[in-house]
Structure formats: C-alpha cells, structure tokens
Amino acid sequence: MPPMKASCTPGSIETTAQLVARLDPSSTLVFAGGRSYEASGAADVIERALHGRHVSMIRGVPADPTADDVRRAVELFRSDAPDLVIAVGGGSVIDLAKAVRSIAPLAADPTPFLTGERPIEAGGPPLLAVPTTAGTGSEATRYAVFTVNGEKRPIGHPALIPEHVILDPELTYSLPPLVTASTGLDALAQAMESMWSTRSTDSSYADAREALRLALDNLETAVNLPDPRSRTAMCTAAHLSGRAIDISATTAPHALSFHLTTRYGVPHGHAVALTLGPVLEFNAAVRPDDCADPRGPDHVREAIADVLKIMGVRTPSEGRAVLSQLVASLGLEPTLSGMGVDDASKRHMLAASASPIRLATNPRRFAGTSLVDLIADVP
C-alpha cells in the first residue's frame, strides 16, 4: 500500500476519537515519547479517545532505539495482543511502533529482522501514527532505523507503513528550538537528497521539491520566531520529505549520519546536515564515468541545478555556504571538527562507517579515496 498523503491541519488530533470509535479496538497499545507526550497536548486527547477501553503503554521511548528496546516492546505486544497500535512522538517512537507491530506477530526474537537475516512480512494490527515533531516523516515511510550492535541499521518493508496518520501542527508548538532545528534539518536534507537520488520518480521528485522549498522558507522562523504558519509549513515539509524518501530512499549524507549519531551523539537531523553541503558540491561535479544514475549525468546535473534554484544560489559552493550558515543560524554547530570529528583517523573511521545501502542511491559514485577526500575537506 503506498503511503496516504495526509494534510497538516491544526486541531486534527481531535479526530482520534472518531477513528478509535470506527476501529473499535478491544486492546490498544500506545507508544509515546517522554515529556513531549503531555507537552504536545496529545496525551489528553488520546486518553479521552481511549477512555473505557483496554490500553497498555510503552512510555519514554528513547531517541535512536536499540534492539533491546524492540525486544522489550515485542514482549509486551505478545502478552497483550493489541488490535490497534498508536504511536505518538518523533521518528524514534514511530519507527519502534512500526517495527514492533510488524515483527511481534511473527516471532518473539526481533534480532533476525533487525539484522536483515529475516524479511518483514505483511500483517500486524493497524497503526495510527501521530508525529509530534516536524522532521523525519517516518509516518509516511517503509523505513525504520535501530541501533544494532552499536551501529544504526535501517530496515525497510512496505508493511511497515502506518495505515492511519494524523498530522496536527499544533502538536509541534511546544517543541524546544534545538529539537525543531534538528528535526527540521532532517526534513530539509531528506528532501534535497531525494531530489538527486538515483531512485527518484516524477512523483517523489514533486513531493521532495515542495518539501525543500517549504523547509528553506520556514525552518529559520520555526526555530527562532515560531508562529502557526511556519509550524504548519514545516509539518507539511516533513511529511512530504517522508513520502519522497519512501520511494527514492536517502543518499550519502544519511549514509554518513549514522556513525555521527552513535559515536558522537549528534542528533539525527543535525548529523545529516553536517555533510549535506559538501555532498551537494561533490554530486554537482558528476561525470559520465562516475555517474550512478542510469538516466545519466545530465539528468543529475538538472536535478542539482533545480536544488540550487530553489535555494536562490548560482553555484554549488554558494549552496554549500548557505547550508552552513543555515545550520549556524539555528543555533547548531556547523562543522565536523566542532562536533569532535577533529583528526584524520576519526575522519577515516567516519568514511569507513558509511552505510553501503544508502551510498548506493547517491547519484555520483565514491570511487577510490573520494569519500575520504570529501570528509577530509569538511571543516
């Protein structure tokens, strides 16, 4: 099932009650984050919608959940056998719910699914995803990412896509600036990477283009001077970026981001943004002999020219500078060195850690030492 296109409507969280009444679950499992569950205003509405029904909860889902987090949630799921799952939170909460509701009916041990030894299969109860951040677009994708043996690993299957989505920008009004910044950068990067991905289609490209435009126009305001308009725009940008990468997948900046999160503790969106500008410049120099996109280097150059046009710049190096300034203007460190990746051996390790699956969709191949050289050149 392709992900449905939900629209960001203030107040739409109130429709939870109607949906619950229609689905009429006998047992509901709710996944929620920490403080954000109450702060967003979602807790009140969800509790009212489920009043009088059997409910179990998994609270305080951590950022970047591990295989152990999945295992614990699978145990609870199997003892409760819910016929509705609700996930309220950021990408980590929604990712965990997506995986658990698909894996738990199949097996008690989630590990083979997380390592890719065993494929996910369709099945599991319906899932309602209610994002409280405007970032990952996880509610619209077949992907979920977990930390397995110290490394972040993506899993993907269409059965992971939630059947029901409520996008209410009001749930993001209470987000702290740094969370708005990092999650918003994820939406922006996903959109840009999707535009140049080797797997882009006309439909993913249109969603990604709109997401990039909205994120560039609204992220700074949403972080530094948030208003309903910028919050709603970022909510839409995040969702469209999720829809786009569901088709196209992400590329090199995401491939490099996993190590920055697990080893240096850099939040996902911030981690992705650290190499987005350098990869933009790298990809813009694509040649016939290193082009990974079967549509050829002219196709890639056209997509990148379009990215630059949306950014309002003329050259890839100007685009790189604009991205670096944007990260700094959001109150985040724009350099790898500033985040602790400050010597040649750490940079070699970063290059070696890059996720091969995510590198494969980058439109320009990293031949020889080009990935090491790219990272060496990042401030």
By CB under 5 A, which span of 77-85, 148-156, 186-194, 306-314 interacts with Zn ion? 186-194
Of residues 186 and 207, the one with the C-beta less far from Zn ion: 186
Shortest Å distance, C-beta 199 to Zn ion: 16
State the Cα–Cα distance between residues 307 and 121, nearest whole angstrom.
Answer: 36
359 exposed, middle or buried (CB, 10 Å; 0-12, 13-18, 19+)?
middle
Stretch that binds Zn ion, among 60-68, 183-191, 279-287, 363-371 (CB under 5 A): 183-191
Q: Is 64 in the site for Zn ion (CB under 5 A)?
A: no
Instruction: Give the separation between CA 49 and CA 46, rounded to whole angstroms.
Output: 5
The DSSP code sequence of 281-320 is HHHHT--GGGB--TT-HHHHHHHHHHHHHHHT-SSHHHHH
Q: Which stretch binds Zn ion (CB under 5 A): 6-14, 122-130, 178-186, 280-288?
A: 178-186
Q: Which is nearer to Zn ion, 58 or 144 (CB)?
A: 144
Minimal distance, residue 248 CB to Zn ion, in Å: 12
Q: Beta-carbon neighbour count of residue 109 at 10 Å? A: 14
Task: Give least dist CB 193 to Zn ion, A.
Answer: 9
Size of the site for Zn ion (CB under 5 A): 1
> Which of residues 186 and 281 has its CB atom nearest to Zn ion in the complex?
186
Residue with smaller CB distance to Zn ion, 133 or 230: 133
Q: With CB under 5 A as the contact rule, which of the stretches 21-29, 182-190, 226-234, 341-349 interacts with Zn ion?
A: 182-190
Report the alpha-carbon distance of residue 281 to residue 205 in Å, rounded.
20
Q: Closer to Zn ion at the Cβ: 16 or 261?
A: 261
Number of neighbours of residue 184 by Cβ within 10 angstroms: 29
Q: How far apart are CA 279 and CA 271, in angstroms?
A: 13
50 or 145, CB closer to Zn ion?
Answer: 145
Residue with tokens 């016929």: 83
Minimum distance, C-beta of residue 186 to Zn ion, in the bound complex (Å): 4
Cα–Cα nearest to 164, from 97, 232, 210, 80: 97
The answer to whether 185 and 253 are in contact (CB under 8 A) is no
Please state the closest distance from residue 116 (CB atom) to Zn ion, in A.
19
Nearest CB to Zn ion, comparing residues 143 and 282: 143
Question: To the nearest whole angstrom, how small is the minimum distance from the Cβ of residue 28 to Zn ion?
Answer: 28
Q: Whose Cβ is closer to Zn ion: residue 139's or residue 186's?
A: 186
Indicate left, alpha or beta for 361 from its phi (over 0: left) and psi (-120 to 50: alpha).
alpha
- Residue among 167 and 245 whose Cβ is closer to Zn ion: 245
186 contacts Zn ion (rule: CB under 5 A)? yes
DSSP string, 252-264: HHHHHHHHHHHHH
The DSSP code for 56 is E
Q: Nearest residue to Zn ion, using CB?
A: 186
Of all helices (H) and strands (E), which one includes residue 30? strand 28-32
Which residue is listed with tokens 């967003």? Answer: 40
Could you give the C-alpha distances from 27 to 31, 55, 87, 122, 125, in angstroms and in order?
A: 13, 6, 14, 20, 10
> Which of the stretches 163-171, 179-187, 198-206, 285-293 binds Zn ion when contact is defined by CB under 5 A?
179-187
- Strand pairing report for 164-165 and 127-131: parallel
Q: Which is nearer to Zn ion, 168 or 186 (CB)?
A: 186
The answer to whether 169 touches 127, Cβ cutoff 8 Å, is no
| Chain residues that interact with Zn ion, rule: CB under 5 A | 186
